[in-house]
Chain A
Amino acid sequence: MRYESTGLTRRGLAPFLATLLLAWGGLWSACAKPPADSSEPSIVVAYPFDIQGVNELTTPSTPIMNGMLYFAWFLQLVEEQADYQDGPPSFEPRLAESYEFSEDRLQLTFNLRANVVWSDGAPVTAEDVRWTWQAHVHPAVNWSFSEAKARITDVEVVDPLTVIFHFSEAYAVQLQDANLGVILPKHAWSQLPFEEWRQNNAWFHEHMVVNGPYILESWRPQQRFVLRRNERYFEDGMPKTDRIVFQITPDTNSRLALLRSGQAHMIEVIDPSDAAMIESDPSLNLLSHIPRSFFFVAWNVSRPWFAEKEIRQALTMGIDREEIIDSLHFGFSSPAHSPFPSNLWAHNDNMKPWPYDPGQAKEILTRHGWVDTDGDGIRDRDGEPFSFELVTNSESQVRVDLLPMIQEHLKRIGIEVRTRSMEFNALLGPLNQHDFDAVIQALALDTSLNLSYFFHSDGIDGGYNWGMYSNPVVDALINATVEQIDHRVAKPLYDRLQVMLHEEVPMTFLYESQRLSAVSKNLHDVDPNALSGFFHIRRWRLEDED
């Protein structure tokens, strides 16, 4: 069909096309006109997650909470510091200016500051502290962390500025347990009965008053939430910046685009593969810290392949962790031999990770009867091939990429690995039911350094001891560390425990990875650490680069 035969002349088509293009161009240029934007200087953080509510007691344990953004709004009694290299962390005064234990350590007294008020002008008192504890343990509120308060029997108000926590027993982390959770505004939020809290998430936002450095100026779901200076905040000269915008950006590439184009000042976590790009940009800084997490392959010891510790050692020696670190972490990690990171006081510095030694791994396997009898390249014993499934969660690209690498490493020593990735929510079912062979995962440690969730027999049901590892000596050592109040006495116990875990290999500790943040050079005093990527957010300040 030719142009002429339709009846359209060249003269007819050209104006038609031109009109359409002009209309489009006009619309575009109108739309492309930048709006009158805010001239107010603000720090912009490109952040992947939205907040799900402002009341941490009814909001699921989201990354926001883990990132401790709640601390921008609400004060804790004291503030844990990241100075845990030589001993347990210290705690700086916040709402409480001091604290002291009774001689028998069954009472912990906090003396509150007199000059702290809520953002509506009401004073912050001991009544707020007691009422917050009541909310923590109220069955209708059903706070998912309430177990941490199980050994607190009462919170007594002595006077408006003195409050005493009573404990049923003395133990190592009493201060941490008393301090867990922010102090909430009784005068504002007690208007809603505890029984109605779980059905009225929006109510808390509508009735929000704060005692921290920032108020929540605005919140557009899935767009941004904005922190604005709390004019009634008690610390002189704080916060250093009037306004911080969290721009919700789930897509990694878009977050990087915002930072590179100068439209954002910070990304809390970046992938190691993007580190070179950040380092080569003169306007950006790359910050790193070691998180209190450990990355591992957990072996299900109830499976015939993983019952013997020597075999688990052989598997560990069969995995080339240096290659993994070079390929997937671009050098931003190192092989690990312990669940404790190397910058933690409890870490045993006198140990070395298992080496990559496929020769020795093969020897061990042969010695234990795992030989390739049928010549198919896979070792077998009593007719059972050494062939298992390795799973991980699909949300983590690094872990998904690990699957074929470990598969290839273990193939070299005659072990067949089948790989599978599934979404985390689906994976947790088989893990908790111990219905898996081996899994690649990561877990985080809290201040208590309580390893019972991961390696104690009690952690098999309801904890994170997915591989069902059980050893009475390890159990006893974990109990001893948990009960020990003096960290100097606990240290040799932790050392021995790490030696045991290293020898027993319930998990192969893969690597100690660095967490990377990208920050614009004109944003100062950003100090991401294992406690939070937004640690001391009140000290952040924006200044032009000279």
Chain B
Amino acid sequence: MLRFVLRRLGSSALLLFFVLTATFFLIHLAPGEPLRLFDNPWMTADKRQELRQLYGLDRPITQQYFSWLSAVLRGEWGYSIALERPAFDVLKERLPNTALLVIAGVTVEHVVGLLLGLVAAVRAGSLIDRQIRILSLLLFSLPIFCLALVAIELLAVRWQIFPINQMWSDQADQLPFVARLLDLLHHLALPSLILGFARCGAVVRFVRNGLLDVMGKDYIRTARAKGLSPSRVLWVHALRNALIPLVQRFGVALPILLSGSLIIEVMFSWPGVGLAVFQAISQRDYPVVLASTALAGAMVVLGSLMADVLQAWLDPRVRDAI
């Protein structure tokens, strides 16, 4: 297993290098440049050239690439032109916020999806199954911002159960630890519920179909014939096997979740990576864009590796193949 993980990490590093190189050239060749940030009526051509020199943007693109590459190999990701700070610091302080939102969203997505999928499977063909299937289709097809708009209007503006936006209340720093934690959860609840509910439709379908498929297999019949209790058959034998495709999906879904969280981050003013990257791209803040590409790439690699390891742990056939 260790050799498998190391082999995967090696090939992933190579892949990441190619992705970063392609991103470097794509973002530099895209129309627009970061110095537009400084535009004003007093900005002369000479002044623009001076700024270009200051940020090393006057050099040939290949030269810029190799100096960027050598800096990256030394662990330096450059300075954000817009924020005048180390690019990685900008992302580093926002990554935990995005991670928190995504983890909470994934938790809601899978708990709700698993629960509804389970009920739909065990009551297959019934009215509740049909209702759950319609609901999952609705959630799957509804744009996340529509769901968010309705939820904000009802739960935050009219009934004021949750805050409208932000991650902390004003002056939350002065609260004791437990109150601060509650304040954070209070702010996290609505965005994570929306993120989770907007995506749980697919999980419902996966769980329902997986369970229905597995319940007809020979080994389930064997388990029943051996006299195992019905709940043990469902929870231990059927569900575990029905969840394998869900685990595979989880790894692939990580980057999609990050992009989904961008909309939520904007709507809820959640200070995450997505918001920073969105601004960096529109401002052509090259160092932040490249550092975030590396980060997203690493997350995809780790996500897919984690999915493989989990799958191996769940499925002895995969484990043996490794």
Contacts and interface: CB of A to CB of B under 8 A. Distances in A.
Interface string A339-356: 000000000000000000
A7 B164 contact: no
B271 A60 contact: no
A144 to B, nearest CB: 4
A12 B122 CA distance: 12
Contacts of B233: 6-7
B230 A8 contact: yes
Interface in B22-53: 30-33, 36-45, 47-48, 50-51
A7 B82 CA distance: 61
A253 interface: yes
Interface stretch (A121-129, A271-279, A380-388, A425-433): A425-433
A476 B111 CA distance: 73
Interface in A19-46: 20, 24, 27-28, 30-38, 40, 42, 44
A257 interface: yes
Contacts of B54: 142, 198
A254 interface: yes
Interface stretch (B123-131, B295-303, B309-317): B123-131
Contact of B157 (A1, A44, A250, A261): A261
A69 interface: no
A254 B275 CA distance: 15
Contacts of B168: 220, 223
Given A8-B234, A61-B37, A145-B42, A426 B30 contact: yes
B275 A250 contact: yes
B144 to A, nearest CB: 13
Contacts of A9: 230
Contacts of A280: none
Interface in B271-285: 271, 275-276, 282-284
A13 B122 contact: yes
A2 B124 CA distance: 6
B100 interface: no
Contacts of A257: 152-153, 156-157, 164
B47 A425 contact: no
B161 A32 contact: yes
Nearest to A21: B115
A478 to B, nearest CB: 14
Interface string B151-189: 011001100111011111111111100011011011011
A428 B43 CA distance: 14
Contact of A60 (B30, B38, B165): B38
A35 B175 contact: yes
A54 to B, nearest CB: 11
Nearest to B45: A462
Contacts of A44: 170
Contacts of A3: 122-124, 126
B229 A30 contact: no
Nearest to A53: B84
Contact of B266 (A20, A31, A251, A450): A251
Among B82, B165, B230, B233, max chain A CB count under 10 A is at B165
A254 B165 contact: yes
Interface string A415-451: 0000000111111111000000000000000100010
A430 B242 CA distance: 55
A145 B36 CA distance: 13
A425 B51 contact: no
A44 B269 CA distance: 15
Contacts of A221: 93, 271
B122 A8 contact: yes
B212 interface: yes
A498 interface: no
B189 A254 contact: no
A30 B185 contact: yes
Nearest to A204: B84
A152 to B, nearest CB: 13
Given A3-B122, A144-B42, A423-B282, A223 B84 contact: no
Interface string B211-225: 110011000000010
A263 interface: yes
A462 B43 CA distance: 8
B173 to A, nearest CB: 7
A144 B157 contact: no
Q: Is the interface of B mostly helix, strand, loop or mixed?
A: helix
A201 B239 CA distance: 54
Among A2, A139, A223, A463, max chain B CB count under 10 A is at A223
A443 to B, nearest CB: 9
A76 interface: no
B197 interface: no
A284 to B, nearest CB: 14
Nearest to B214: A1
Contacts of A471: none
Interface in B70-112: 79, 82-85, 93-94, 111
A371 B303 CA distance: 63
A461 interface: yes
Interface string B199-237: 000000000000110011000000010000111111000
Contacts of A422: 31
Interface in A185-228: 198-202, 218, 220-224, 226
A18 B63 CA distance: 64
Interface stretch (A89-97, A164-172, A241-249, A357-365): A241-249
A142 B162 CA distance: 46
A7 B231 contact: yes
Contact of B186 (A5, A34, A58, A144): A34
Contacts of B165: 247, 249, 251, 254, 258
A148 interface: yes
Nearest to A34: B186
25 contacts: A1-B125, A1-B216, A3-B124, A31-B189, A33-B186, A34-B186, A35-B169, A35-B179, A62-B37, A142-B54, A144-B40, A144-B51, A147-B44, A147-B47, A148-B42, A199-B84, A222-B275, A257-B153, A425-B31, A425-B32, A425-B284, A426-B32, A428-B32, A450-B41, A462-B43
Interface of B: 30-33, 36-45, 47-48, 50-51, 54, 79, 82-85, 93-94, 111, 115, 119, 121-126, 149, 152-153, 156-157, 160-162, 164-175, 179-180, 182-183, 185-186, 188-189, 211-212, 215-216, 224, 229-234, 238, 266-271, 275-276, 282-284
Given A3-B126, A38-B169, A220-B271, 17 more contacts: A1-B216, A5-B215, A6-B234, A7-B234, A8-B231, A31-B185, A32-B189, A35-B169, A58-B84, A61-B40, A199-B79, A221-B93, A222-B271, A250-B275, A257-B156, A423-B32, A426-B32
Q: Which 7 A-B pairs have the closest CB atoms?
A: A7-B230, A425-B32, A201-B84, A222-B271, A60-B37, A35-B183, A147-B42
